[in-house]
A = this chain, B = another copy of it.
Amino acid sequence: MGRAREFDVDGALDAAMRTFWERGYDGTSLSDLTEATGVGRQSLYLAFGDKQRLYLAALDRYREHFYLPLLEALSGTVDVRAALRAAILPLLDGSCADDPRGCFLVAAAAERAGDDAEVRARVTAAFAGLETVLLEAAQRGRAAGLVADTVDLPGWAALTVTTIQGMRVMEAGGADRSTLIRALDTVLAMLHP
Contacts and interface: CB of A to CB of B under 8 A. Distances in A.
Interface stretch (A38-46, A74-82, A138-146, A168-176): A168-176
Contact of A166 (B123, B165, B182): B165
Interface stretch (A8-16, A60-68, A155-163): A155-163
Interface string A26-54: 11000000000000000000000000000
Given A109-B173, A113-B174, A190-B190, A183 B167 contact: no
Given A26-B24, A158-B182, A166-B169, A107 B111 contact: yes
Contacts of A26: 24, 26-27
Interface of A: 22, 24, 26-27, 100-102, 105-111, 113-114, 120, 123-124, 127-128, 131, 152, 154-156, 158-159, 161-170, 172-176, 179-180, 182-183, 185-187, 189-190
